[in-house]
Structure 1
């Protein structure tokens, strides 16, 4: 359990990880979303939150960045709690696509089934399963779930949302393909709208580590003490993260770090150590797969220092 790691050990680990991350100079900000291109590429933060609620951080750990695709994890948690893991597996899927996160080809080859809730097609399908009386009610449930995971009120950035909504033409095509295949379970443009909004909230590395620690703590937020999702669903969510959390680099991340992870093109990256802690990194420059280079370095450093690789236990 997390109490096996002293405060001094964890403080040193996150500090060292931040220093290691700063050595990485490669990568570029996401440019296809104007807001993301404008974020300072020199920002870099790291955080650890343990399953018993201790917080350790370094660098720009309180800077709020766009959650982007990391949001897929928490909408998945919301829907899985409501309809159950078997229904998610049946309607959306539980296998990596082996292709880019926004691939239309992957969707076509699977005859319209998204395969994974952590690629864009699967995330839109998952958003279409959120229940509510109207669009705003469904969106509020997603926002409330993000806030419950973070342990504080998470807000939509109008600037990010505007930037996303006016450039999401590729995702509009995906939504209509899903609908034509019977794998979008609401109006496709409504599903796309709330999916785009869920990607446009602002979080910090500390928020992200808290969200991950809630999964590490079997669905109970360790900072607030509140149960957020059913314990039995955390294992399925972590399995999805291990298989597809870093898109086409998911296998490399599993090979090197050995933890369930999730990235977003806003520069955030999360890794979860079941029963122990979560590690979050943030830096805008991305690798060709869309994953933060310095964020990966920070997470990898903590995992190595503390011997957290699940396959090395």
Structure 2
């Protein structure tokens, strides 16, 4: 059945388009498809090149939120960023202007994510990126570096994010300088990972912060629970409600085509218990979610009854 689900998902790869507004990402081939599932016993299902690297993009928002919460404490972060869905595009500024006191609605939209990045430990943007990259490496066992070509491509076209950052600074939500925050934010979006890496992150979240294969605790149970709640309600841009209803598992997507998923308890053929799922296919829809990736996860959830609802 997994092979059938995979083959069906692959037929949707050309229905999406790469993120055209980021010049380097616009060059990605939409025919790529990779998926990885890992369970709490170390069993894997892999299809495609699960070691091929791509940039985190908005999946970094999940990582940054966890790091900020562990460094400052959950309440400190939530004082600056709320946990409410918006229903708006990820780069919208309208809620900052229309609701007092201009507090970002959640860490999964750009306004909230930029605020979270300003809280990350480190004196410079590169220090903050290094801290997060080290956190990632401890979970995945891989080395994570910034794709400089993607970073340069994004930083040159980040005018809307710069406007958001200035608005946040004016309302006293940023903890550091606008340009320093933006540099760190874009560099973190440009960190490279593989499909297998994000499956491992999903497995750690399935263990409520403790990696099931080693029992090492990376984040507290409370941080993990809030992170998964945010992924479920806000993780797929303004299609989050739709996918919560049709798939029903915590997920976070990025416009490079990656999708991070976590399942606290499930069974998928020979895989069972806590599951981490990573998918990569760079053809995205108008909202920013991988078309083939979401088809794969939707069929997976419906076939094996993985929904939390």
TM-score class, shorter-chain normalisation, is: over 0.9
Counterparts of residues 161-176 of structure 1 (less than 5 Å): 161-176=151-166
Alignment of 1:1-20 (within 5 A): 13=2, 15-20=3-8
Offset at 1:110? 2.9
- Report matched runs for 1:154-193 at 5 Å: 154-193=144-183
Query: Could you tell me which residue of structure 2 aligns to residue 67 of structure 1?
Result: 56
1:281 aligns to 2:270 (yes or no):
no
Are the equivalent residues in 2 in contact too, given 1:79–1:126 (CA < 8 A)? Answer: yes
The SS at the match of 2:130 is helix
- Structure 2 length-normalised TM: 0.92
Structure-2 change in CA distance of 1:198 and 1:68 (3 Å):
same
2:82 to 81, 85, 93: 93
The runs of 5 or more residues in structure 2 that have no matched partner are 266-273
Taking a change above 3 Å as real, the CA distance of residues 223 and 16 of structure 1, as seen in their structure-2 partners, is farther
Cα deviations by residue, 1:72-92 (Å, 9 ceiling, x for unpaired):
000100011122222222211
What is the alpha-carbon distance in structure 1 between the residues aligned to residue 36 and residue 4 of structure 2? 11
The alpha-carbon distance between structure 1 residues 110 and 151, as it changes in their structure 2 partners (threshold 3 A), is farther
Question: Where in structure 2 are the equivalents of 1:1-313 lying within 5 Å?
Answer: 13=2, 15-24=3-12, 25-111=14-100, 112-223=102-213, 225-275=215-265, 276-311=274-309
Q: Distance in 1 between matches of 2:26 and 2:107?
A: 26
CA distance 1:16–1:62, change in 2 (3 Å): farther
**Where does the alignment leave 5 or more consecutive residues of structure 1 unmatched?**
1-11
Cα root mean square deviation, aligned: 1.5
Residue 96 of structure 1: SS of its match in structure 2? coil
Shift of 1:224: 5.4
Secondary structure in 2 aligned to 1:274?
A: strand
1:188 Cα offset (Å): 1.6
TM-score by length of 1: 0.91
Contact preservation (8 Å) 2:124, 2:180: no
> 1:6 — aligned with what?
none
List 4+ stretches of structure 1 deviating above 6 A.
none
Q: Which moved more, 1:98-107 or 1:146-155?
A: 146-155
The structure where strand makes up a greater share of residues is 2
**What is the CA deviation profile of residues 2-59 of structure 1, one whole-angstrom value per residue up to 9, with x for unaligned ones?**
xxxxxxxxxx53x333212112141211100011110111001111011333222112
Aligned pair count reads 299
Q: Distance in 2 between matches of 1:168 and 1:51?
A: 39
The answer as to whether partners of 2:66 and 2:227 remain within 8 angstroms in 1 is yes
Instruction: Pick closer, same or farther for the CA change 1:148–1:16 going to 2, 3 Å.
Output: farther
